[in-house]
Each structure stands twice: as C-alpha cells, then as structure tokens.
Amino acid sequence: MNKNDALNIIDAKAGMLCAASDEIWGLAELSLQEYGSEKLYEQFLIKEGFSVRHGLCSIETAVTGTYGSGHPVIGILAEYDALSGLSQQGGATVEKPVPGNPNGHGCGHNLLGAGALGAAIAIKEYLKFTGKSGTVIFYGCPGEEGGAAKAFFARENEWSKLDAALTWHPDDVNQVVTGSSMACIQKEYIFSGVASHAAGAPEQGRSALDAAELMNIGVQFLREHMGQNASVHYAFTDAGGVSPNVVQSKAKVLYMIREATVQEAVKLEARVDKIAQGAALMTETQLSTRFIDGTANPLPLKTMEQLLYKNFVQVALPEYTEEEWAYAAALKNTYESVGLPGYAAKFDENIAQTVDKATDGGKRALNDFLMPLYHSSVTLPGSTDVGDVSWQTPTGQINCVTAPSMVPGHSWQMVSAGTTGIAHKGMLTAAKVLAAAAIDIIDDPALLPPIRAEFEHASSAGYVCPIPKGAKPEIV
C-alpha cells in the first residue's frame, strides 16, 4: 500500500464519515455533554479495530482510539461539541430553527470529528498494510467551546507522549493555519454576604452584590496597568435577587482573562484574584472561586506548516456542483462580507493580490483554491485549547472549506452549511491532508527531527498549565 492507496480509503469510507458527521450535527450536544457523539465515535473506532479508551482525565465524553506500535506516535485531534441557541435547518438559506433542539453546530465540530476519524482510519490502514513502525491515536476531545478538555489532558502531560499532533478546523478557506491566538482563563468569582432589610436594618446586611460591583471597578482600574495584549471580560451570572429592598447576599461574576501567552495569563489571573479578595474585604463578604477552564496560546511551527502545505498541494481540492454554487451564493447574500477571505491576505500584500484575483475581489461564493503558504507569529483574538497541545508536542492545523466565503463563525449560516455537500467535501479533504502528512512522518525518519528542534525552541519558556491542580471540568 502506498500513500495514495491510503488516501483512497477515505473516499471508500466517505459514506460512513458523512453519515457520522450528519448524525452528530443532528445531536448537537453542548460542551462536556457530548454523550451521544462520544458513543458514536467509540462504536466506529471499535468497528475499525482501534483499541478504545472511553473517558480521559475524568472527562466522560472523551474517547481515544489507538492503533499500531512504536514511534512515531501521531495524535489526530477531534472535537464534537455544539453551541447553544443556534438551532437551524441544514441546507436552508433562511434562518429557520429546528423544533426540539435549541443547539446547533455553529463551529462545524460535527465535521471536525468526522474528518479526524477519516484521517485516523487511513493512517491505521497504512500502518496495518505496510507493517511500518508507528502509532496513531484518535483523540475525541470534548468541550472546545467551553471546558477545554485538551488543556485538562495537558495538565496530565497526555500530549507529551506524542511525536506530533495534527488537526483541522472547518472554515471558508483552504489554508494551513499559522500564527497564534490568545491564552484565556475563565473563572467565576462567588461572593456571599448577609441578607437584611435594606431600609430597616441596612447595618446588618453585607452585600455580595456590592462586592461583585467593587471587584468589577477594581478590574476597571487594573486595565490601565495590564499588558498591551491583555483583555478582561466579565458577565454577571447571578446579581442576587430582584428586590432592591433586600441587601443581596449572593452574587456571582464570571471572568474571562486573556493574554498573549499562557504564562502572562496565569499572572494576570492572580492579579484579578487579589482584586476580588480586596472587594470581599471591603464589604465583609466571603469570596470563593470556581475555576471553569483555561487555554494556552498555540505555538506556530514553520516546519510543520511546510509539511502540511506540501501535502495540501498534492491533495485534489473539491469541485462543486451547480446546486452547491447556487446554495453558497444564496447563503452569502444573507450576511455582510467585506474585504478578502483568509488570514494571510490581511497581512501580506502579495497574497492579498492573489486572493483578490482568485475570489473576484471577495465576491466569489466558494473559495475553491488553496491559500498560498504564509508563516505568521501574529496573535489573533480568540482562544483554543489546541494551544495546550502545541506546548507539549509539535502541532499542525489546517482549515478546509466547509461553508461559503466569509461566513460568520458561530452563526446559523455555519449550521446550515454543515450538512451540505460542500461541508462533506471539505471534511474529506481535511482527512486526506492530515493522513498524508502523518504518512510522510511515518515514511521519512528525517522529517521529524527539524520539526522537533523548532518545537523545542518555540516551547523553551516552558508550558504553564492554566488548569490548577484539583480543578475539575465545569459546565458554565
């Protein structure tokens, strides 16, 4: 069996992979509650001959499937959580929720998991038929949208045992992911005080609501003294009762603390903690905290980006039917799209010119081409727990077209596109590129050392896990 034969297995299994994606799209389970989706992957992995482990680091909706022995050990990362409030009929070009399920796959994780499964199966078959040394591990990682299972696994050093990790994300362009994104820590600050009659016995009351408000004010003043890249966001999750004539004895405020690196994020979190303690002291209330999740900044590696790009060039990109073009054009009309698609076009003038030409100035409904390779170290807004993986093993990511050009993330349009032929084709392409890159690593022992060397250099600051010891995954 050669590399092409292995990639053809993905086409042979296309029916099963598309059905898995569609079923998970229908289940649309929220972060850390993906019981049906996990079960489905478990069944597929068992059927395909992987040795399956259900649950990981006390996260029940995690699943791993391992095949092969010896090095290189390659992890293929899957996700399968949906988003609340994004119920939408598949393939529709108008906003139309589906009765009975309030959630939807607005980030395309139904496709992400199925594509990862396709890649893992092709790598497994290659190992099986060539008898080469190598291990492939499919990682079903719950809670990307909230929960950050990959960071919890990183706390237990799960990723350190890999020689490399590969993953992908549904998108509106075909590209190798480059650059970084923000480290982020989510934590709830819970104040409790003493309720009393606000007019009759105010001196007996100790207001938790005051404490939460003073904390927010304290953080306002902190903002002047944070790093340029830092940002802090908050939401009241409980402001006490609705009676102004009661001193509120309970209040909760959820914080999201973002920094360019995980090391800085953990330091900023400690400063926010002090402000919360100060607010409790001022109001004579009690403070407790509930850690929700944390993610590190991803480490981009040029060598890994080159390996993925080389394979992306070799894999045939999808061609679309007239109906698919028409659907994409109709969906594109439902949202505003300005500028050019793709990450690189924003930062590189030459690439911007190429993309401008290829997309007719951004007007084309589907970006049916491969973005030129672009290496970046720019930190973009947003966060992902793939970052934590990248601190423990060299990690590469690609994007494949699963939706019309410049489709907004986390939108009903993204949910609508998730069951279409466009999405299925993108998912199968992703599976092929990831499998092809993994097969290169298995075949050529000279490939990994430079990737590992770049990784050692990039991660020399040392990984700081944003998940404290003892913290358990929490559903917000």
Q: Which residues bind Zn ion (CB under 5 A)?
A: 107
Q: How far is the CB of 83 from Zn ion (least distance, A)?
A: 7
Rounded to an integer, what distance in angstroms lies between the CA atom of residue 462 and that of residue 469? 17
Q: How far is the CB of 403 from Zn ion (least distance, A)?
A: 12
Identity of the residue, 107 or 120, whose beta carbon is nearer to Zn ion in the bound complex: 107
What are the residues whose beta carbons fall under 8 Å from the beta carbon of 362, sequence distance 6 or more? 337, 338, 339, 340, 341, 355, 356, 405, 406
R_g of the chain computed on alpha carbons: 24
Identity of the residue, 135 or 295, whose beta carbon is nearer to Zn ion in the bound complex: 295
Residue 94: both structure tokens together: 């108008």
Identity of the residue, 31 or 216, whose beta carbon is nearer to Zn ion in the bound complex: 31
Q: Is 285 left (phi over 0), alpha (psi -120 to 50) or beta?
A: beta
Q: How far is the CB of 284 from Zn ion (least distance, A)?
A: 41
Identity of the residue, 107 or 177, whose beta carbon is nearer to Zn ion in the bound complex: 107
Q: How far is the CB of 341 from Zn ion (least distance, A)?
A: 17
Cβ atoms of 247 and 196 closer than 8 Å? yes
- Could you tell me the end-to-end alpha-carbon distance of the chain, in angstroms, rounded to an integer? 47
Ramachandran angles phi, psi of 362, nearest 5°: 90, 5
Rounded to an integer, what distance in angstroms lies between the CA atom of residue 356 and that of residue 416? 26
Identity of the residue, 7 or 30, whose beta carbon is nearer to Zn ion in the bound complex: 30
Residue with CB nearest Zn ion? 107
Of 53, 296, 281, which is closest to residue 181 (Cα–Cα)? 296
Query: Amino acid identity, residue 71?
Result: H
Identity of the residue, 13 or 109, whose beta carbon is nearer to Zn ion in the bound complex: 109
Cβ atoms of 38 and 142 closer than 8 Å? yes
Identity of the residue, 107 or 431, whose beta carbon is nearer to Zn ion in the bound complex: 107
Q: How far is the CB of 145 from Zn ion (least distance, A)?
A: 5
Q: How far is the CB of 101 from Zn ion (least distance, A)?
A: 18
DSSP state of 241: -
Rounded (to 5) percent helix, strand, coil in the chain: 40, 20, 35
Cβ atoms of 437 and 307 closer than 8 Å? yes
Q: How far is the CB of 204 from Zn ion (least distance, A)?
A: 47
Q: What angle do CA 150, 153, 158 make, to 5 degrees?
A: 115
Q: How far is the CB of 282 from Zn ion (least distance, A)?
A: 38
Residue 314: both structure tokens together: 């070799």
Q: Is 242 exposed, middle or buried (0-12, 13-18, 19+ CB in 10 A)?
A: exposed
Q: How far is the CB of 142 from Zn ion (least distance, A)?
A: 13
